Amino acid sequence: MNSAVRVGRVGVPAAGAKGVPWLDRDHSILSFNARVLDWAERSAVPLLERLRYLCIVSSNLDEFFEVRAAPHLAAARAGRSDGTASPASFESIAAAAQDLVHRQYHLYNEVLMPALTRAGLAIVSHSERKSVQKAWVDDYFAREVRPLLTPVGLDPSHPFPQVANKSLNFIVRLGGRDAFGRDNDIAIVKIPRVLPRVIRMPSRVSRGKTRFVLLSSVIRSHLHDLFPGREVLEFSQFRVTRHSELAVDEDDVRNLRTALRLGLQHRQFGEAVRLEVSSACSDYLADFLLAQFSLPRGAMYRVPGPVNLVRLQQLIDLAQAPGLLFPPFTASYPRQLGAGLSIFERLRQGDVLIHQPFERFDGVVDFLREAVLDPQVLAIRQTIYRIGADSVMMDLLREAVNRGKEVTAVVELKARFDEEANINWAEKLEAIGAQVVYGVVGLKTHAKMLLVTRREGKAMVRYAHLSTGNYNPRTARLYTDISHLTADPQLTHDVEAVFDHLASQARVPRLQSLIMAPFHLHRRLLDLIEQVGHAAARGETARIVVKTNALTDQQLMDALVRAGRLGAQIDLIVRGACMLPARVPGVTDNIRVRSVVGRFLEHSRIFYFGIGAEETLLLSSADWMNRNMLRRVELAWPVTDPALRQRIVDECLVAYLHDERDAWDLMADGQYQRIASALDTTRPGVQAALMVRYDAGSSAPGARG
CB-based burial label for 375 (10 Å; 0-12, 13-18, 19+): exposed
Rounded Cα gap, residues 390 and 382, in angstroms: 17
Q: Dump the DSSP string for 455-516.
A: EETTEEEEEEEEESS-S-TTGGGTEEEEEEEE--HHHHHHHHHHHHHHHH--SPPPPSS-EE
Which residues are CB-neighbours of 264 under 8 A, at least 6 positions away? 246, 419, 420
Among 548, 544, 584, residue whose Cα is nearest residue 671: 584
Give yes or no for a contact between 351 and 486, defined as CB atoms under 8 angstroms apart: yes
Q: Classify strands 406-411 and 515-517 as parallel, antiparallel or unpaired.
A: unpaired
Rounded Cα gap, residues 58 and 567, in angstroms: 41
Q: Is 341 helix (H, G, I), strand (E, B) or coil?
A: coil
Give yes or no for a contact between 205 and 180, defined as CB atoms under 8 angstroms apart: no
| Beta bridge partner(s), residue 543 | 569, 610
- Consecutive H or E run containing 95: helix 87-107
Give yes or no for a contact between 449 and 383, defined as CB atoms under 8 angstroms apart: yes
Q: Is 28 helix (H, G, I), strand (E, B) or coil?
A: helix
Q: Is 243 helix (H, G, I), strand (E, B) or coil?
A: coil
CB-based burial label for 328 (10 Å; 0-12, 13-18, 19+): exposed
Phi first, then psi, for residue 46 (nearest 5°) are: -55, 145
- E strands of 71-160, at which residues? 121-123, 152-153
Catalytic residue, chosen from 446, 465, 522, 603, is 446
Among 589, 50, 44, residue whose Cα is nearest residue 319: 50
Which residues are CB-neighbours of 12 under 8 A, at least 6 positions away? 81, 83, 84, 85, 86, 89
Amino acid letter, 372: V
Rounded Cα gap, residues 28 and 5, in angstroms: 9
446 is catalytic: yes
Rounded Cα gap, residues 679 and 689, in angstroms: 17
Which residues are CB-neighbours of 370 under 8 A, at least 6 positions away? 342, 343, 344
The residues carrying an active-site annotation are 446
